[in-house]
RNA sequence: GCCCGGAUGGUGAAAUCGGCAGACACAGCGGACUUAAAAUCCGCAGACCUUAACCGGUCGUGGGGGUUCAAGUCCCCCUCCGGGCACCA
């Protein structure tokens, strides 16, 4: 470096991200190995860092920016820590918006989607995100979705995919069926104002309930997941342990099976309540026109309430059928009612009503004057008002041979008794329902099934035939007219629909529904490990090396959609022998929302801030760094443009100082050893803080604050550096490590400064600095001195001073002396290194 | 109704184990530089009382109580905000 390099003009020292960032971006884009992961044999520990893949809407929003800024900082940090990092990105590219866009602008969905992907990929590159684009996954392309079809067939063969007619959720806006997980408060997850209708349709389902128990029990092992997400999944799965009990219908061959979690209260049952849809209710109605009318009225009322979006508003009511059921435990006859609050699709659609020990039953019994019979009493013998629902420290009364038993013991014994006498059994009920995956839409994965028209051995006419692997992929036809008329668009493409049966060669019709797009995102992260595989969804050895994902980062809105489906898919793949891991991700992080003026950014509120605009004004580094600085990552972040400007100013300071003193420091004869030690002390304290934070708390806001403190201190030492009082060894160490610490947060600037200060190679592959505890150590520590808990003064003592020394120093202080003068010192509390509190009277 | 979060200056926030509340920023105010402005740099800054000023004092982490030498942090009760589940038997 020559003297001329030192005399760079002020103008050249001005931080100009608009010049620096595109220059580096071009260099990075040209190097397709820059962010590539290494193989199993790299000798390094692996780290799979993953952010949830976006829907290619065509525009990154601030939520994406925040999500990717977090993941990118982590990936770069782990590279610098010597890990073999997999950091991929892809596109959740099927879905309804492409069809809507097609309707609106007459652009084919594929063209629209691929155009959006290209635009968003460019935005991501502009952000400086460290993705390995060689492993990019695009779910709407046949080389990906063919494996959706392959999995579907495998699941069909295993009985995990099946077709049935049932009540399903229909969104009139989407013109398709939705899964239960996609219905929120009776409304569509994509159309918050659209009430979901119930329709009877034949649909394909995936048997997620087969894994309900494992999905639930393994939640306790996911200690790297937020408790909130685990709780939400636990609630969603909704396991309920209970007993099935058969009540014989008096004077008929029918029986009513009820589900109860409190079989111990069954001697207090004074009626049986049926859902209006219940088969026994229907059979009574067949011979009772009045009852039939009342049941129809209930169903009509439910339908109306659902359409009004307010199911909770229906008042509970019921009708007495006039028939009786027999309680198998005591032979007692109880009336059978039909009630509008009994859910047909939970448990068995029938309950026993025990008014004395259930709040709802009590309320219902009061309304209709049904008998209330107490059969549970507190162990303590105290009189509890009814309804008494407690089961701990309570025992049975007037309950035959179980009288005096504890509730919990009785529940087990009575279930066993039922099983022994053939009228019931212990059982488990889940709220979770099988995953309905059929969609009456075009832009999705075709379901790889045909219906053989004539039928053949084992398949009746019109029966289901799964396509063999050789017939895959079933490619989505390109020329499809998208209209708003009902039914699957593929059904209007004769070339697609009409095919031949792969078994008998006769004519066959294709399934015209496509798969829920949540299928695509249920296993995409496995594909990243082997994105170009044409013979399999992925190579098992590769997946077993990389899985589980070490850190998954995304929004909490997927807590029960994507995150439960992908856990299910992982378990299915494990049982197919493709992978060894039971769970997809060891650690999950859900970042907070980005808000503006106190509200979530949305077009309708007009408070959307465009990342492009921020990058244009302040650069990608400042935009990303602000997203990490303004709040800890798990909290909501209020976007304030002035804050971005502040970060930009800060980066400008770093740039100016580094160019001035980091490139070629001024030479001087006498150095200031104390000032040098102080600089190095702050430097090493900063390294220690950031290193520790990355491995645990992820409070990047305080990491960046720590870097600011270091830079403020460097700036304060500017006169000393100018005068040559800080040796070049020290400035070199300070600026080198400052640059390395900036690399995860502001990669463009770090790359630039690394190069201009003579660093070799990519700054992201340089070893992360190691804090030197000796250099970081403070010589003295400030100890606040309190009197009765109120601050009096602050004294300085050498680090490591013992209690006696600190106490002596505190009592020797003039301010302290005047404060305690004339008072009695009752006690002196000394916490070494922390504080002194003198208790006086 | 049940289950999770959260509430700290004008604003975003910090205080990781019970030990100086408000680090670091933003906005603001004052100053330097400049013909001027921008940019940059330096300084002030929780509220209230007192003072000419310094000094000094009181209050202060949603509200009320408690434990403790000491509470934003622990315990009890309550309010408000956000999220999840909910005629689930």
Question: What is the per-residue DSSP string for A562-600?
Answer: HHHHHHHHHHHHHHTTS---SSSBSBEEEEPPEEETTEE
Considering all nucleic acid strands, name the nucleotide whose C1' atom is nearest to the C-alpha of residue A650. Answer: B25
Joined together, the tokens standing for residue A253 give 């061959």
pLDDT at A543 over 80: yes
Determine if strand B comes within 7 Å of the CB of A806.
no
Instruction: Report DSSP letters for A27-58, one per residue.
Output: HHHH-TTTT----GGGSSPEEEEEEPPPP--S
Is there a contact between A263 and A330 (Cβ–Cβ < 8 Å)? no
Q: How far is Cα A344 from Cα A361, in angstroms, rounded to an integer?
A: 17
Query: Cα separations (Å) of A331 from A228, A273, A327?
Result: 47, 18, 5
Mean pLDDT for the stretch of residues A481-507? 89
Query: Helices (H), strands (E): how many in chain A?
Result: 28, 34
SS3 call for A174: coil
- Subset of residues 338-367 in chain A with CB less than 7 angstroms from any atom in strand B: 340-343, 346-347, 349, 351-352, 358, 360
> CA–C1' span, A790 to B71, in Å?
13
pLDDT greater than 50 at residue A354: yes
Report yes or no: A734 and A683 within 8 Å, Cβ to Cβ: yes
A378 touches strand B (CB under 7 A): no
In this prediction the pTM is 0.92
Report CA(A691)–C1'(B16) in Å, whole number: 14
A10 touches strand B (CB under 7 A): no
Largest CA distance in chain A: 112
Interatomic CA distance for residues A684 and A402, integer angstroms: 71
A3 falls in which pLDDT band (50, 70, 90)?
Answer: very low
Query: Is A719 within 7 A of strand B by CB distance?
Result: no
Supply A107's token pair. 């652009």
Q: What's the CA–C1' distance between A734 and B52, in Å?
A: 48
pLDDT confidence of residue A120: 97
Distance in angstroms: CA A708, C1' B39: 20
Mean confidence (pLDDT) of chain A: 90
For position A252, what pLDDT does the model report? 82
**Region A451-467: what's the mean pLDDT?**
94
Give pLDDT tens digits for A182-202: 887 777 877 877 888 888 889
A784 touches strand B (CB under 7 A): yes
Range of lowest pLDDT (A322-331, A443-452, A664-673, A691-700): A664-673
CA distances for A568 relative to A71, A540, A562, A735, angstroms: 24, 18, 10, 49
Q: Which nucleotide is nearest to A696 (CA to C1')?
A: B16
pLDDT at A627: 95
| Spatial distance from the CA of A472 to the C1' of B26 (Å) | 57
Any atom of strand B under 7 A from CB of A306? no
Cα–Cα nearest to A88, from A140, A130, A119: A130
Cβ of residue A259 lies below 7 Å from strand B: yes
pLDDT for residue A7 is more than 50: no
Is the CB of A782 less than 7 A from some atom of nucleic acid strand B? yes
Residue A262 pLDDT greater than 50, yes or no: yes
The yes-or-no verdict on residue A652 having pLDDT over 70 is yes
* B47 C1' to A439 CA distance, Å: 61
Q: Å from A59 (CA) to B77 (C1')?
A: 49
Rounded Cα gap, residues A148 and A562, in angstroms? 15
Give the pLDDT of residue A600.
Answer: 81
* Element spanning A776, H or E: helix A773-776
A838 CA, B20 C1': separation in Å?
15
Proximity of residue A180 CB to strand B below 7 A: no
Lookup: nucleotide whose C1' is closest to A642 CA: B26
A316 touches strand B (CB under 7 A): yes
């Amino acid at each position: 470096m020559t003297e001329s390099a030192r005399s760079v003009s002020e103008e050249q020292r001005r931080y100009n991200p608009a010049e620096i960032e595109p220059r580096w971006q071009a260099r990075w884009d040209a190097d397709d190995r820059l962010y590539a992961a290494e193989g199993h044999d790299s000798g390094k520990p692996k780290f799979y860092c993953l952010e949830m893949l976006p829907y290619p809407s065509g525009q990154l929003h601030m939520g994406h920016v925040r999500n990717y800024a977090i993941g990118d900082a982590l990936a770069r940090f782990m590279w610098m820590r010597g890990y073999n990092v997999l950091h991929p990105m892809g596109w959740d590219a099927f879905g309804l918006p492409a069809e809507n866009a097609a309707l609106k602008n007459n652009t084919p969905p594929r063209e629209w989607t691929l155009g959006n992907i290209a635009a968003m990929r460019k935005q991501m590159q502009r952000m400086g995100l460290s993705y390995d684009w060689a492993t990019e996954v695009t779910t709407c392309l046949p080389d990906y979705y063919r494996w959706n079809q392959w999995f579907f067939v495998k699941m069909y063969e295993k009985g995990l995919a099946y077709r049935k007619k049932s009540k399903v959720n229909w969104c009139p806006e989407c013109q398709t069926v939705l899964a239960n997980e996609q219905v929120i408060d009776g409304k569509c997850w994509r159309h918050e104002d659209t009430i979901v209708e119930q329709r009877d349709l034949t649909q394909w389902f995936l048997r997620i309930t087969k894994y309900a128990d494992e999905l639930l029990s393994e939640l306790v092992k996911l200690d790297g997941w937020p408790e909130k997400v685990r709780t939400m999944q636990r609630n969603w799965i909704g396991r309920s342990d209970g007993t099935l009990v058969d009540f014989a219908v008096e004077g008929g061959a029918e029986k009513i099976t009820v589900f109860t979690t409190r079989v111990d209260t069954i001697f207090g049952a004074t009626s049986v309540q049926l859902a209006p849809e219940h088969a026994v209710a229907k059979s009574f109605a067949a011979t009772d026109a009045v009852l039939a009318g009342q049941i129809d009225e209930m169903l009509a009322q439910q339908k109306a309430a659902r359409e009004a979006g307010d199911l909770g508003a229906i008042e509970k009511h019921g009708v007495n059928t006039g028939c009786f059921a027999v309680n198998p435990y005591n032979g007692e006859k109880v009336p059978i009612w039909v009630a509008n609050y009994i859910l047909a699709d939970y448990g068995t659609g029938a309950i026993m009503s025990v008014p004395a020990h259930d709040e709802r039953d009590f309320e219902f019994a009061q309304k209709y004057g049904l008998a209330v019979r107490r059969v549970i009493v507190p162990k303590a013998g105290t009189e509890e008002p009814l309804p008494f629902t407690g089961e701990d420290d309570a025992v049975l009364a007037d309950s035959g041979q179980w009288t005096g038993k504890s509730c919990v013991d009785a529940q087990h014994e009575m279930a066993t008794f039922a099983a022994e006498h053939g009228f019931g059994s212990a059982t488990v009920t889940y709220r979770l329902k099988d995953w309905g995956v059929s969609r009456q839409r075009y832009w999705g994965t075709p379901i790889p099934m045909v219906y053989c028209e004539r039928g053949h051995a084992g398949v009746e006419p019109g029966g289901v035939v799964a396509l063999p692997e050789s017939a895959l992929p079933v490619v989505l036809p390109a020329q499809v007219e998208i209209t708003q008329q009902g039914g699957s668009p593929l059904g209007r493409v004769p070339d697609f629909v009409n095919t031949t049966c792969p078994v008998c060669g006769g004519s066959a019709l294709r399934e015209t529904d496509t798969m829920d797009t949540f299928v695509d995102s249920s296993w995409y992260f496995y594909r990243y490990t082997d994105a170009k595989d044409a013979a399999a969804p992925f190579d098992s050895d590769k997946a077993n090396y990389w899985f589980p994902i070490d850190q998954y980062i995304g929004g909490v809105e997927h807590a029960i959609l994507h995150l439960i489906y992908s856990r299910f898919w992982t378990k299915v793949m494990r049982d197919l022998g493709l992978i060894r891991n039971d769970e997809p991700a060891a650690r999950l992080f859900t970042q907070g929302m980005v808000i503006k003026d106190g509200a979530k950014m949305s077009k309708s509120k007009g408070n959307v801030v465009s990342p492009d605009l921020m990058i244009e004004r302040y650069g990608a580094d400042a935009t990303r760094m602000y997203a990490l600085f303004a709040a800890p990552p798990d909290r909501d972040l209020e976007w304030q443009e002035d804050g971005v400007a502040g970060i930009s100013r800060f980066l400008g300071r770093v740039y100016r100082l580094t160019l001035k003193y980091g490139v070629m420091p001024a030479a001087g004869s006498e150095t200031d050893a104390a000032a040098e030690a102080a600089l190095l002390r702050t430097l090493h304290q900063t390294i220690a803080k950031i290193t520790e934070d990355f491995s645990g708390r992820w409070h990047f806001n305080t990491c960046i604050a720590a870097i600011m403190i270091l830079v403020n201190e460097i700036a304060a030492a500017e006169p000393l550096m100018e005068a040559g009082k800080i040796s070049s060894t020290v400035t070199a160490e300070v600026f080198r490590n400052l640059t390395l610490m900036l690399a995860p947060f502001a990669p463009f600037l770090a790359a630039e400064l690394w190069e201009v200060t003579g660093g070799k190679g990519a700054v992201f592959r340089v070893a992360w600095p190691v804090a030197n505890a000796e250099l970081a150590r403070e010589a003295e520590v400030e100890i606040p001195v309190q009197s009765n808990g109120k601050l009096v003064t602050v004294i300085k003592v050498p680090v490591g001073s013992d209690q006696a020394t600190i106490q002596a120093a505190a009592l020797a202080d003039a301010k302290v002396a005047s404060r305690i003068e004339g008072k009695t010192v009752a006690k002196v509390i000394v916490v070494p290194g922390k504080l002194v509190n003198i208790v006086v009277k």
